[in-house]
Amino acid sequence: MATVQQGTKQFQGMFSEMWAVTETVDFGNAATGSGTFASVNITVPNVAIGDIVMGVSVGVDTVDGGIVGAVTAANVVTLTLMNNSAGAIDLASTTCKFVVGRPSW
């Protein structure tokens, strides 16, 4: 289960709710070739479509990959490892941290 902290006083009112999430994930193999990817879904209670995933960090070198996050369903954040290299990327299991904000506008 993910560690989740929820609050309302960050970013000077830009967000009505925020979640700071820490979770151990294993992306699996992003196959050889630019444009391939591997994804993991993380349960984050109370997030919704339209919330913004910010500041994804991981505890390992992503090689030539990049990681993006998005709320893809109610209570679900999907983190995607995008392979921008000519070879396969298979990251070790690692701790990911990210912030989700619900815009107040």
**Rounded-to-integer distance, Cα 105 and Cα 103, Å:** 6
pTM listed for this prediction: 0.84
**Rounded-to-integer distance, Cα 16 and Cα 52, Å:** 12
Confidence at residue 27, expressed as pLDDT on a 0 to 100 scale: 87
**Structure tokens given for 100:** 């989700």
Burial of 96 (0-12, 13-18, 19+ CB in 10 A): buried
Interval 1-13: pLDDT, tens: 787 777 666 576 7
**Rounded-to-integer distance, Cα 51 and Cα 74, Å:** 10
Interval 47-86: pLDDT, tens: 999 999 998 999 988 877 888 999 999 999 999 988 887 8
